[in-house]
């Protein structure tokens, strides 16, 4: 592997009843463009006793992007937003100066049945000048995302701009996130199609790059923006993402991201003192962890 490339393996993290695979951040690379965090949820089967329940917790300085491939999840936040997340649609919550939210298995799936869930939650850091913006929530239906087929590949532009198109999802800095499926073995051309740092998450199948084989559960990062092409074997599905990096370093503690260590310390105190806004009607509370995650 050339020294301008990195291969990352998922690391397991336990969220109570639910195991996730964490891909970003890791010690050698904290961000890819504005992307600071990627969790792979599932694929898993949920049923009574193993429901997906993440109680009320805070964020600052970032946007959460939730993208499901299978199943459903219920989102509520302190802006008053309430949305059932469905496969292929995009939930985008901008935390700004501070927001709280919950993520749960929807009520209609708490009926004793068994349901699949599979997807990704991604954190996108905000530009320094927008870190203290008012919190917002945006939902884009899958039918409104740019979708096209080319050279044996099916493209969905989830967020940002790439391949001469722009997603209707409003983002806050130059970035891209695409969902790409190879219906036949195909070359995925990259040079000139997206701008900034580049990474691939292999959902399933195999991506080949200069003799290296990157498989399901792995991420390939190109530390330069001159990547030309990779090969996807038949049936392979990848998420292609990245963008322009920020000039300032970003710091991260638990659910907080900021260009200022002092701001993160203030957020920690505010959460401990229960000064964040609440999700309407929700009294749950996840305590501040004692250690950096």
Q: Which residues pair with 161 in a beta bridge?
A: 166
Q: Which residue has the higher pLDDT, 130 or 23?
A: 130
Contact call for residues 279 and 100 (beta carbons, < 8 A): yes
Rounded CA gap, 66 and 48, in Å?
Answer: 23
Calculate the average pLDDT of the chain: 89
Rounded CA gap, 173 and 216, in Å?
Answer: 29
In a domain, 292, yes or no: no
Contact call for residues 63 and 124 (beta carbons, < 8 A): yes
Region 191-202: mean pLDDT is: 90
In a domain, 28, yes or no: yes
Closest listed residue to residue 152, CA positions, set 232, 240, 249, 39: 232
Confidence of residue 42 (pLDDT cuts 50, 70, 90): confident
In a domain, 262, yes or no: no
Let me know the angle formed at the C-alpha of 272 by 267 and 273, rounded to the nearest 5 degrees.
95
The CATH number for 238's domain is 2.60.120.10
Q: Is 136 helix (H, G, I), strand (E, B) or coil?
A: strand
Rounded CA gap, 231 and 120, in Å?
Answer: 23
pLDDT value for 229: 84
Contact call for residues 99 and 89 (beta carbons, < 8 A): no
Confidence of residue 1 (pLDDT cuts 50, 70, 90): very low
123-143 in b/e form (b: 16+ CB < 10 A) is bbbbbeeebeeebbbbbbebe
For residue 124, is pLDDT > 90?
yes
In a domain, 274, yes or no: no
Rounded CA gap, 12 and 33, in Å?
Answer: 24
In a domain, 47, yes or no: yes
In a domain, 190, yes or no: yes
In a domain, 278, yes or no: no
User: Which run of H or of E encompasses 214?
Assistant: strand 212-215
User: Which run of H or of E encompasses 267?
Assistant: helix 261-272
Rounded CA gap, 146 and 159, in Å?
Answer: 10
Contact call for residues 169 and 122 (beta carbons, < 8 A): no
Region 104-122: mean pLDDT is: 94
Cis-peptide into 272, omega within 30 deg: no
240-278: per-residue pLDDT in tens?
999 999 999 999 999 999 999 999 999 999 999 999 999
Per the structure, the complete domain to which residue 78 belongs is given by: 5-243
Q: What is each CA distance from 212 to 148, 202, 262, in whole angstroms?
A: 28, 13, 42
Rounded CA gap, 77 and 136, in Å?
Answer: 10
Q: Is 102 helix (H, G, I), strand (E, B) or coil?
A: strand
Rounded CA gap, 52 and 50, in Å?
Answer: 7
Provide the number of structural domains found in the chain. Answer: 1
pLDDT value for 225: 58
In a domain, 267, yes or no: no
Rounded CA gap, 60 and 48, in Å?
Answer: 33
For residue 146, is pLDDT > 60?
yes
| Size of the chain, expressed as the number of residues it contains | 293
202-249: per-residue pLDDT in tens?
999 999 887 788 888 888 887 655 567 899 999 999 999 999 999 999
């Amino acid at each position: 592997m050339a020294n301008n490339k990195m291969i990352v393996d998922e690391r397991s993290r336990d969220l109570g009843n639910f195991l996730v695979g964490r891909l970003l951040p890791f010690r050698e690379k904290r961000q890819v463009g504005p992307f600071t965090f990627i969790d792979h949820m599932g694929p898993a089967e949920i049923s009574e006793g193993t429901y997906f329940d993440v109680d009320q917790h805070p964020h600052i300085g970032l946007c959460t992007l939730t993208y499901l491939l299978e199943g459903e999840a219920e989102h509520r936040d302190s802006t008053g937003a309430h949305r059932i997340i469905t496969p292929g649609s995009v939930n985008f919550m901008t935390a700004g100066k501070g927001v709280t939210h919950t993520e749960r298995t929807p009520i209609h799936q708490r009926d004793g049945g068994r349901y699949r869930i599979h997807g990704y939650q991604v954190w996108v850091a905000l530009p320094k000048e927008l870190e203290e913006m008012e919190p917002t929530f945006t939902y884009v239906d899958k039918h409104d995302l740019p979708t096209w087929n080319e050279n044996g590949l099916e493209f969905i532009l989830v967020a940002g701009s790439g391949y001469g198109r722009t997603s209707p999802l409003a983002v806050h800095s130059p970035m891209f996130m695409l969902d790409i499926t190879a219906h036949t073995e195909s070359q995925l051309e990259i040079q000139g199609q997206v701008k900034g740092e580049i990474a691939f998450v292999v959902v399933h199948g195999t991506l080949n790059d200069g003799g290296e084989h990157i498989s399901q559960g792995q991420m390939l990062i190109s530390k330069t923006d001159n990547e030309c092409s990779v090969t996807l074997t038949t049936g392979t599905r990848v998420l292609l993402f990245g963008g322009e990096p920020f000039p300032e370093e970003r710091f991260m503690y638990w659910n907080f991201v900021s260009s200022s260590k002092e701001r993160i310390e203030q957020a920690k105190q505010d959460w401990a003192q229960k000064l964040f806004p609440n999700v309407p009607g929700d009294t749950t509370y996840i305590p501040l962890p004692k250690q950096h995650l």
